[in-house]
C-alpha cells in the first residue's frame, strides 16, 4: 500500500472532514483486506452465514470499515440504482473498469443493503464483488 495513503480526491468525494469520514487509516485498513481475499478467506462467507446466521469475524470487520468510510454520493438512493449495479454484481470483473462514481455507489449499495438483507454482504464477499471493489478503490486512490 506504500507510504502515502490513498487520496479521497481520486474518488471525487469531498474531503473526509466534509463527510465526517475517519482519517485515511480507515481506507488503508479496508484495502488491507485485499490479500485476505486473495488467500481465499472470504470464499465461504456466504455459506457460513447461511449455516450459522452469523457473520464470520472478517466479514464483520470489513463491513465496519466500509461503513466508516462513508463513500457515498450526496443524496444517493441506492435502491433506485440496483438495475445499474446488476452488471457489476453479475460479473465482478467489470468493476475493474468502473469509474469513481460507480465505485462509490457500489460501496454504498453494499453497506446500505446490509440493513435490509443480511445475507447480501456475505454473498458479495464470497462472489468476489467486494474483492474487485477494493482492488478498484486502490487503483482509483493511487
pLDDT at 126: 97
**Mean pLDDT, rounded, of the chain:** 83
pLDDT tens-digit map of 9-35 = 444 443 333 333 445 777 889 999 999
Task: Identify the band that residue 41 occupies on the pLDDT scale cut at 50, 70 and 90.
Answer: very high
Say if residues 106 and 133 touch (Cβ distance below 8 Å): yes
Q: b or e along 70-102 (b: 16 or more beta carbons within 10 Å of the residue's beta carbon)?
A: bbbbeeeebeebeeebeebbeebeebeebebeb
Work out the average pLDDT over 94-117: 91
Whether this model's pTM surpasses 0.75: yes
Amino acid at each position: 500500500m506504500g507510504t502515502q495513503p490513498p487520496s479521497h480526491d481520486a474518488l471525487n468525494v469531498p474531503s473526509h472532514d466534509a463527510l465526517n469520514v475517519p482519517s485515511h487509516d480507515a481506507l488503508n485498513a479496508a484495502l488491507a483486506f485485499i490479500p485476505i481475499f486473495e488467500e481465499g478467506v472470504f470464499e465461504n462467507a456466504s455459506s457460513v452465514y447461511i449455516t450459522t446466521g452469523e457473520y464470520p469475524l472478517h466479514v464483520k470487520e470489513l463491513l465496519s470499515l466500509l461503513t466508516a468510510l462513508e463513500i457515498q454520493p450526496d443524496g444517493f438512493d441506492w435502491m433506485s440504482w440496483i438495475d445499474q449495479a446488476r452488471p457489476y454484481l453479475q460479473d465482478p470483473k467489470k468493476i475493474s473498469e468502473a469509474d469513481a462514481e460507480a465505485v462509490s455507489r457500489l460501496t454504498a449499495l453494499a453497506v446500505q443493503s446490509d440493513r435490509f438483507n443480511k445475507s447480501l454482504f456475505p454473498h458479495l464477499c464470497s462472489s468476489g464483488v467486494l474483492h474487485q471493489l477494493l482492488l478498484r478503490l486502490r487503483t482509483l486512490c493511487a
